[in-house]
Amino acid sequence: MECVFGLVGNGFAVVVADTSAVHSILVHKPNEDKILLLDSHKLMGASGEPGDRIQFTEYIQKNMSLYQFRNGIPLTTAAAANFTRGELASALRKNPYHVNILLAGYDKETGPSLYYIDYIATLHKVDKAAFGYGSYFSLAMMDRHYHSGMSLEEAIDLVDKCITEIRSRLVVAPPNFVIKIVDKDGAREYAWRETVKDAPIPSA
């Protein structure tokens, strides 16, 4: 099952997701990136139905770019979160998207923020959040070790603790994770935590 979790630190927000693309018992690929860069200062980690996940997150990403082209300024994280919720809510009773989202962003005026948006469009601003079976372990670890204003080193240490817990306690634990952060310098990939690498393609 897909694990996505995130937390807010001192001047940054971090989102972590597993990278297994799974279909029933088969792992299609072990390095699927489930955290999309929405714009220069926003990350959207998504879990759920694979087709819906890619379709919906790309739809949000393109609409955000469109807003920026039309208006000359990017959306704030809160505005992006509310837009996302609005799209999920209007589709809910017609053709629902089965995607859970953690939206992290950095705004100059308000600093870092993290929004929890579940697949039925419940929106809430949080300091730490998680989706999936891994949430039972990562939320517990974060409840124990998280405090507001964590430094990057402390936060990554906590992320690693969560990943270790998921790997050791979840029966179908995903082997690989990607960590992305967003701070005043922008949204970027921070690190991968891999235990299983894709076999290299043999040369002809």
Q: Is 11 left (phi over 0), alpha (psi -120 to 50) or beta?
A: left
Which CB, 36 or 81, lies closer to other proteins? 81
170 binds other proteins (CB under 8 A): no
CB of 93 to other proteins, least distance (A): 6
110 binds other proteins (CB under 8 A): no
Report the alpha-carbon distance of residue 37 to residue 58 in Å, rounded: 10
Report the alpha-carbon distance of residue 60 to residue 83 in Å, rounded: 8
Here's the x/- map for other proteins, 59-88, by CB under 8 A: it reads as --------------------------x---
Residue from the set 23, 93, 108, 147 that interacts with other proteins by CB under 8 A: 93
* Helix runs in the chain, H state only: 50-71, 77-92, 135-145, 152-169
Q: Which 3 state secondary structure label does DSSP give 73?
A: coil
Greatest Cα-to-Cα distance within the chain, rounded to the nearest angstrom? 54
Which CB, 116 or 177, lies closer to other proteins? 116
Which CB, 136 or 192, lies closer to other proteins? 136
Report the alpha-carbon distance of residue 83 to residue 62 in Å, rounded: 12
Which CB, 24 or 95, lies closer to other proteins? 95
Stretch that binds other proteins, among 33-41, 67-75, 114-122, 167-175 (CB under 8 A): 114-122
Which CB, 117 or 163, lies closer to other proteins? 117
| Count of C-beta atoms within a 10 Å radius of residue 28 | 10
Which CB, 37 or 126, lies closer to other proteins? 126
116 binds other proteins (CB under 8 A): yes
Query: Side chain identity at 17, as an amino acid letter?
Result: A
With b for 16 or more beta-carbon neighbours within 10 A and e for fewer, the 11-24 pattern comes to ebbbbbbbbbbbee
CB of 140 to other proteins, least distance (A): 11
Q: Which residues bind other proteins (CB under 8 A)?
A: 85, 89, 92-93, 116, 118, 120-124, 126, 129, 135-136, 139
